[in-house]
Structure 1
Amino acid sequence: MTIEERKEKFVSLGKFLGQFTAEGIFEKENIPHNDQFFARMKDTIEAAVHHNGWFTRENVLFSLDQWSRALTSENLDQWLKPYGLSEVQPKTVGLIMAGNIPLVGFHDFLSVLISGHKVLVKQSSNDKLLLPVIADYLIALAPEWKEKIQFLSDSSEGASKMKDYDAVIATGSNNTARYFEYYFAGKPSIIRKNRSSVAVLTGEESAEELAALGEDIFRYYGLGCRNVSKLYVPENYDFDAFFKAMYSWNPIINQAKYANNYDYNKAVYLMSQFKLLENGFLILKEDKSFGSPIATLFYETYSDKEELKKELEARKENIQCVVSQELFENEVDFGKTQQPNLWDYADNVDTLQFLTKKI
């Protein structure tokens, strides 16, 4: 297929996914292969919810909705324009995916296929149901992709069972990254590690901006690298407006797994005599670290914005997103961390440049 044909297929996928939205599931007309795949995807969504307790129906539909909005002709054209995809020599690219949020590895899958390569996928056991349906839908749109998409079986164990590949993109923790770096030392690779996102507040945010920040904190229960896990606030910051803005998210405590984490972390912090702020469903703990536990948000105070900028620049290898309002270059608006563009790369590593220039 030409690059234009590949783009066309992913636009069709976007329209298919547009039937499964945060507002609900609505079957539409003139969607290719809907008779074969609409009911199957609907059933798979329910299966994914039962398979992983963190994958609520709302969050799975939110993920599908965001991908539907991303896969438009305009977005694909803007994303792909800088790259010479017509000159790519097809290779086999192995993907080792995380499973912390629904379809977290789809951008890598999309990048490999749309650049003309073959993809060899090792999914996380936590998120193994949705992507195969999407892959089968793409194959129905373009049977040529049947020879380009391969999933490793559940019995295969990560990198040790991956064979006959030319390059790899692997996502994991800082600990697994060391293993990946050793195992894939002889291959072109992108190895992703733990990252966190932060928000910088000035005390001048509107109620609407703070309410939008709740989306950045609580979406996917804070399990994604794009979730805000730490706040930077001015000295003597009054958290009353912040807690008031977060109140609409209070039903989150009714989710048993989230509530268990909230109760556990609160008990540990209290026994350790840490000073806490909390509102019944979110704990605020002053801490210099980035990656806060579930139901906990770290915070740190600052007195000088320029000094804070220097500090965050020095620690940028640990940061995925900075949420702020006209303070930082490449900042993300309040409420937008879980709505990345196709060109917003994980770890700020240009995946398409790697796939077109490095292998």
Structure 2
Amino acid sequence: MLQKSKFTAFVELGKFLAQFSLNKNQPQETVLLNDRFYTSFEELLALSQSHNGWFTKEQVYFAVQSWAEALTEENLTKWLSNYDFSNVQPKRVGLILAGNIPLVGFHDFLCVLISGHKVLVKTSSNDQHLIKFLANYLTSVEEDLNDFISFTEDKLEGFDAVIATGSNNTARYFEYYFKDKPSIIRKNRNSVAILNGVETHEDLVNLGEDIFRYFGLGCRNVSKLFVPKGYRFDAFFQAIFEYQEVIHYEKYANNYDYNKAVFLMSNFKLLDNGFLTLKEDSSYSSPISSVFYEFYESLSELKVRLENNKDQIQCIVSNDLIENSIAFGQTQKPQLWDYADNVDTLEFLISI
């Protein structure tokens, strides 16, 4: 099928998603197929937390709006202009998706289809409804896409390449099982923030967004702070007080109580504000409701360390303290060209 028809289908999907926001859903007469899909999608959004307790209304609407903003004609044109799809021979690409945050696997789904391949999707049991709904919308806008999209609940079979996302443990299984196929295997990663003590209140409020969005479940969430020797956390705690409502979500509160108790029973020294604990720790991966921190003396030495550990890090947040860092508050707003693990998915798909 023509590249243009796929492009148009995703633009129409972006327009459809743009009708839904946390404050007010507003149908637009110019959006295709609203008579078939608008009410059903409203109902699905309302049911999302019953499908996954972490998928609260606020978090699901944030994900939907993020994709609405990404899937514009301008963004898609800018992204795809860097690639040549003319020699792509359609293959069947298997996707094994994660389910930690809403629609977390949709970028891989988009990449496979927009590059000209067919997609075979194995969803996570934690997020199996949203992406299937969007696939149904796409195939209704462009019927030829029916031949390019399929889902399975069984073991992946009959594929030419695979993109699989999982934990470090499951990644070892994936690497063995898919060793004879072209693949991208994604493992656990975490994001870090580097502070120098001169951040504004607004910077630190925005850092709270990087920490608490999706309750900290995403690989782009900041789970580790690097702070200068002697740093005091007063301004940090004052700024993130805006996120105190997070403790009213039962699943988050349960994690906060449990992880705090484990830390205290182990006699770890904690900083605590009633909904987030800070623990000095060299690890990058902190449990839900906790952020690790570490002091640094030399920014240049820290840069070397982060470069050496880049396979464990998804994003680095700072006020331009390090090359290619992301501004505070932007980790959960990636552009289409911001690839997970810095692996260019479209280049991989063009090459298979």
Give the TM-score normalised by structure 2. Answer: 0.99
What does the per-residue CA deviation read over 1:133-159, in whole Å, with 9 as the maximum and x for residues that have no partner? 100100011000111100103xx2xxx
Query: Which residue of structure 2 lines up, in the alignment, with residue 117 of structure 1?
Result: 117
CA distance in 2, matches of 1:293, 1:62: 23
1:87-106 paired onto structure 2 within 5 Å: 87-106=87-106
- 8 A contact 2:5–2:142 mirrored in 1: no
Post-superposition offset of 1:86: 2.6
Post-superposition offset of 1:352: 0.1
Post-superposition offset of 1:4: 2.3
Post-superposition offset of 1:5: 2.3
Post-superposition offset of 1:21: 1.9
Give aligned-pair identity as a percent: 59
CA distance in 2, matches of 1:255, 1:95: 31
CA distance in 2, matches of 1:81, 1:27: 31
Post-superposition offset of 1:22: 3.4
2:284 aligned with 1:306: no
2:195 aligned with 1:191: no
CA distance in 2, matches of 1:286, 1:26: 46
**What secondary structure does 1:53 align onto?**
coil
What does the per-residue CA deviation read over 1:235-294, in whole Å, with 9 as the maximum and x for residues that have no partner? 110100000000010010010110011011111111111010010000000000011000
**What secondary structure does 1:85 align onto?**
coil
CA distance in 2, matches of 1:20, 1:87: 38
CA distance in 2, matches of 1:237, 1:223: 26
1:45-194 paired onto structure 2 within 5 Å: 45-153=45-153, 156=154, 161-194=155-188
CA distance in 2, matches of 1:269, 1:55: 27
Post-superposition offset of 1:82: 1.4
CA distance in 1, matches of 2:347, 2:109: 15
Query: Which residue of structure 2 lines up, in the alignment, with residue 346 of structure 1?
Result: 340
- 8 A contact 2:11–2:71 mirrored in 1: yes
- 8 A contact 1:2–1:86 mirrored in 2: no
CA distance in 1, matches of 2:309, 2:21: 36
- 8 A contact 2:98–2:166 mirrored in 1: yes
Post-superposition offset of 1:27: 1.4
**What secondary structure does 1:178 align onto?**
helix
2:296 aligned with 1:275: no
1:314-333 paired onto structure 2 within 5 Å: 314-333=308-327
Q: Number of aligned residue pairs: give it.
A: 352
2:290 aligned with 1:296: yes
What does the per-residue CA deviation read over 1:32-80, in whole Å, with 9 as the maximum and x for residues that have no partner? 0000000111111122221110000110000000000001111111111
What does the per-residue CA deviation read over 1:300-356, in whole Å, with 9 as the maximum and x for residues that have no partner? 000111001001011000000000011122111000000000000001100000000
* Amino acid in the other structure paired with 2:177: Y
**What secondary structure does 1:21 align onto?**
coil
The gaps in structure 1 that reach 5 residues or longer are none
Query: Which residue of structure 1 lines up, in the alignment, with residue 222 of structure 2?
Result: 228
CA distance in 2, matches of 1:343, 1:292: 27
